[in-house]
Structure 1
Amino acid sequence: MDSLIIEGPSKLSGIVDVSGSKNSALPLLFASILFDEKVTYENIPRLWDIESTLSLLRIMGCATEWAKELGRVSIFPTITKKEAPYELVKKMRAGILALGPLVAKYGEAKVSLPGGCAIGARPVNYHIEALRKMGVTVEVEEGYIHATVKNKLVGAEIFFPEVTVTGTENLLYVAVMAEGTTLLQNAACEPEVVALGEFLKSCGAKISGLGTQTVTIQGSKLKSPVKPIAIPPDRIEAGTWISISLATRCPLELNHCDSSQMTSVLSAFRQMGAKIEELNQGTILKITPADKYLPLHIETAPYPGFPTDMQAQILTLLCLAEGRSTVVESIFENRFMHVAELQRLGAKIEVNGNIASIEGPVKFQGAPIMATDLRASACLVLAGLISKGTTRVSRIYHLDRGYQRLDEKLRRLGAKITRVAE
């Protein structure tokens, strides 16, 4: 395992190219299982979760090609094994996305229950209950989901008791191949779900209501895509870079953004006092930090609300605001593990259940700290950049799951940051 050594405080300047979205790439890669011919993707980020997904597809029988420097992946979906084993699915919760395509295309699947994160339970019971309504026999035994279509897939009316992104994505895979009409109610509205649905539509799927809580899918025959699929920009990475710019009080310019997907995040930063210009139809963001930041009350929520994946970053930034801020985590339990590490640097944060109260401003002092999950690792790097002295962030394999070469990008901007083997 590697660590990052950060000498702070950092002075940054320059332009950042935002990478392709991990949360879009993963469901789109798993969608290749639905087809008989090669599927090609562009703007694929170099991440551990991408590596794990391609390894999983290869175990199933697919051939893959990855031109990493070009960001291009090709998948030849020659499935011979309808199983997603524990050894790979445990590394990332998105492994559950093998379930829908295997059931839809081959009528059977054996998929390990997911892992990959320490931020709370992510139950798959909504996936299972919905599949049963569509004619799938599902059993859970010894840590595996065993799914079989004994007759045929049939459309159904599905209501999700809670919004589930991967549940909505899994049902999209299945519904486009089912006989009849499927109605998904309380569906996830996230841009990554919309991107998957639009891709399936480009291949002949009949889907309406994408981006709303009610999605209708008419079963139809899919045709293999003839053009490469471009992965959209990562809205969470873009938000992380804005946090870095504001915390270090160093203006930055971000390329390859989609500001239309970041309304709640941009609004929060602007309420704190930041100036953010949206240029070139929102694909370029110019960030101008403020001398002083105002405190905020933030509640995470499903899209278009404030994303839980930005909670750790804005919580860290709020340590610099003048006054008392509160952050309510409404999506996942146990997602304040980064607080104890921030406290080691000098943060004044109290956690009561799913509410964190932050007193600012504080000045961080470098110390050894440990990443506990993907987004927590990003906030700890952010904290290290503004700490006086040396900060060592260990277990950064979490960071590599979701950020492409973050430390290299920071060095190009002027940060004193070094990767070392533990």
Structure 2
Amino acid sequence: MEKIIVKGGRPLKGSVRVEGAKNAVLPVLAAALLSTEGTNIIKDVPILTDVYTINEVLRSLNAKVDFDAERNEVRIDASAPLSSEAQFEYVRKMRASILVMGPLLARNGYARVAQPGGCAIGSRPIEQHLKGFEAMGAKIKTGNGFVEAKVDGRLKGARIYLDFPSVGATENIMSAAALAEGTTILENAAKEPEIVDLANYINEMGGRIIGAGTDTIRIEGVRSLRGATHHIIPDRIETGTFMVAAAITKGDVIIENAVPEHNAALIAKLKEMNIEIDDTDAGLRIRAEKPLRSVDIKTMPYPGFPTDMQSQVMALMLTAEGTGVLTETVFENRFMHVEEFRRMNANVKIEGRSVIMNGPSSLQGAEVAATDLRAAAALILAGLAAEGITRVTELIHLDRGYVDFHGKLAQLGADIIRVNDDETADEKEKELV
């Protein structure tokens, strides 16, 4: 069994560079299916298992995909006729696979996509996606583990109001509307930087989208789109994770390739916790030399505090003085990692949609299992601050969203290794003691 072994107690120091954004690259790669001529060249692509999965989905749909991992570049030619069915064997691995539905429906007038998989964080339903497709004239059918959408002729532009500013629904509807007849007005849209990145890419292909990054997006449909070259934005969640890594170890770290305005809510809360953050020419500098103060945090849709940073900041708050409350409003069932924190001697309790922490907890190393992508990172962060040895298993989650996470932490001075089996783990662990 693969595991990461970490010995706590070392302040992190040095520089680290973040990758292209996982949550931006997946919808961009799916939207490449919209182009009927030329080659799409997507740059700054992170080397993640989710990227390999979406590439397999695209290949199964008859797109030509070449992933040059050394150059962090994907080339996609989707000019040939596309299949309309995304098979379960690929889609079950990752819920973002549902993002091919909008492009397929716009291209072929029909899409049949298996119900998505991915992290087990609540129900995360796709009703908002389907509501948008229906508004544009599609007929929806669900059953036997599949979702089908069909339209006679082209999709029609429509005014669509989302009940909740869902990121996935905004991306899927925006992609579908790019080839619709007429204009689509998408209200209460998600405003994340990844939405802006996708809109920029579609516009580079010849689309006409304005308003991305606001709650109202206007998409004027065009007849066809062509291949384009696009650079993926830096990953704000990886940035945030390394900000917390610096803070939880009382370190001094510079994060290269960070975009501070994409993390404004997180930066505000970290400063409130007594952490120094400066935007320098070298990158975003994080210093945590003063005692940490507890704060109250509520996750919200962007530009609010990101749910994808909830578990990492929870780890940090365990080390802070006083009582802190962290409330999750975006997803239900996103506190599965709390039980793993308790195994590390964390003073933490769940009350409804909130977690209450009385700190600082005297964290102790333990064997813990990652429950989802961000929890995997959070448990490693807690291990950096714990006394003794922490072993983190279920790393399949970590590899979905972080490139060489343990290697980057080691580069910053962490006592951390990744091993493939228990025998090797026992040998390597002795080197950390």
What is the TM-score of this pair, normalised by structure 1?
Answer: 0.97
Contact 1:205/1:221 (CA < 8 Å) preserved in 2?
Answer: no
Cα distance in 1, alignment partners of residues 90 and 225 from structure 2: 29
Provide the secondary structure at the position in 2 that maps to 1:392.
strand
Count how many residue pairs are aligned between Structure 1 and Structure 2.
419
Alignment-derived partner of residue 410 in structure 2:
411
2:13 alignment partner, SS class: coil
Counterpart AA for 1:178: A
Aligned pairs for 1:84-163 within 5 A: 84-163=86-165
Superposition deviation, residue 188 in structure 1: 0.4
**What residue is the counterpart of 1:279 in the other structure?**
280
Q: Is the 8 A contact 1:52 1:91 kept in 2?
A: yes
Give the CA deviation at 1:221: 3.2
Q: Distance in 2 between matches of 1:80 and 1:208?
A: 28
Cα offsets for 1:304-330 (capped at 9, x unmatched) = 000000000111101111100000000
Distance in 2 of aligned mates of 1:30 and 1:152:
19
Specify the code of the residue in structure 2 equivalent to 1:201. Answer: N
1:10 maps to which residue? 10
Distance in 1, matches of 2:366 and 2:148, equals: 47
What letter is aligned with 1:96?
A: I
Matched residue SS, 2:203: helix
Cα distance, 1:79 vs. partner?
Answer: 4.7
**1:251 Cα shift?**
0.4
Q: Any conservation in 2 of the 1:33–1:79 contact (CA below 8 Å)? A: no
1:175 is matched with which residue: 177, 184, 194?
A: 177
Paired residues of 2:106 and 2:154 also in contact (CA < 8 A): no
Amino acid at match of 2:93: K
Q: Secondary structure at the match of 1:95?
A: helix
SS at 1:119's partner residue? coil
Report Cα offsets for 1:12-42 as digits up to 9, x if no partner: 2211001110000000001110012211111
Residues 257 and 249 of structure 1: CA distance in aligned 2, closer, same or farther (over 3 Å): same
Q: Distance in 2 between matches of 1:204 and 1:279?
A: 36
Contact 1:204 1:221 in 2 (8 A): no
In 1, Cα distance between equivalents of 2:64 and 2:132:
31
1:245 positional shift? 0.2
Deviations 1:72-100 (A, max 9, x none): 11112135421111111111110110100
Counterparts of 1:291 and 1:39 in 2: how far apart (Å)?
A: 48
- Residue 290 of structure 1, CA deviation: 3.1
Shift of 1:203: 2.2
Secondary structure at 1:97 match in 2: helix
Does residue 186 of structure 2 align to residue 187 of structure 1? no
1:316 has 2:315 as partner = yes
Q: For the residues of structure 1 that align with 2:295 and 2:110, how far apart are their CA atoms?
A: 49
> Amino acid of the residue matched to residue 253 of structure 1?
I
Tell me the equivalent position of 1:65: 66
Deviations 1:239-258 (A, max 9, x none): 00000000001100100011
The question of 1:269 aligning with 2:308 is answered no
Hey, what's the Cα distance between the residues in 2 that align with 1:218 and 1:72? 29
Answer whether contact 1:137 1:150 (CA < 8 A) is retained. no
Per the alignment, in what secondary structure is the counterpart of residue 333 of structure 1?
Answer: coil
User: Deviation of residue 211 (structure 1)?
Assistant: 0.9
User: What is residue 386 of structure 1 aligned with on the other side?
Assistant: 385
Per-residue CA deviation, residues 269-320 of structure 1 (Å, 9 max, x unaligned), is 001001110124xx81011113201110100000000000000011110111
TM-score (norm 2): 0.95
Task: After TM superposition, list the pairs within 5 Å mapping 1:269-308 onto structure 2.
Answer: 269-280=270-281, 284-308=283-307
Question: What is the rounded CA distance, in whole Å, between the counterparts of 2:279 and 2:223 in structure 1?
Answer: 40
Q: Secondary structure at the match of 2:356?
A: strand
Residues 14, 252 of structure 1: 8 Å contact kept:
yes
Distance in structure 2 (CA, Å) of the matches to 1:151 and 1:64:
28
Letter in 2 for 1:151: G
Cα distance between partner residues in 2 of 1:21 and 1:80: 27
Q: C-alpha separation between the residues in 2 aligned to 1:93 and 1:121?
A: 11
> Which moves more between the two structures, 25-34 or 212-221?
212-221
Q: Is the 8 A contact 2:251 2:289 kept in 1?
A: no
Instruction: Output the CA distance in 1 between the equivalents of 2:289 and 2:8.
Output: 19
Q: Take 1:124 and 1:300, find their aligned partners in 2: how far apart are those partners?
A: 21
The offset of 1:5, in angstroms, is 1.1
* Paired residues for 1:369-380 under 5 Å: 369-380=368-379
Identity across the alignment (%): 39
Deviation at 1:10, TM superposition (A): 2.6
Query: Is the 1:135–1:151 Cα contact (8 Å) retained in structure 2?
Result: no
1:259 is matched with 260
Residue of structure 2 in register with 1:335 after alignment: 334
SS in structure 2 of the partner of residue 315 of structure 1: helix
Structure 1 runs of 4+ with >4 Å offset = none
> 2:426 maps to what in 1?
none
The Cα RMSD (Å) is 1.2
| Per-residue Cα deviation, 1:308-364 (whole angstroms, up to 9, x for no partner) | 000001111011111000000000001011111011111111101110001101221
- Mapped partners of 1:89, 1:417: distance in 2: 33
Map Cα deviations across residues 84-134 of structure 1 (whole Å, 9 max, x no partner).
111111111101101000001111111011110111111111111211111
Contact 1:109 1:148 (8 Å CA) reproduced: yes
Partners of 1:195 and 1:30 lie apart in 2 by: 13
Instruction: Report the residue type matching 1:369 in the other structure.
Output: V
The one-letter code of the counterpart of 2:266 is V
Structure 1 position 248 matched with structure 2 position 249: yes
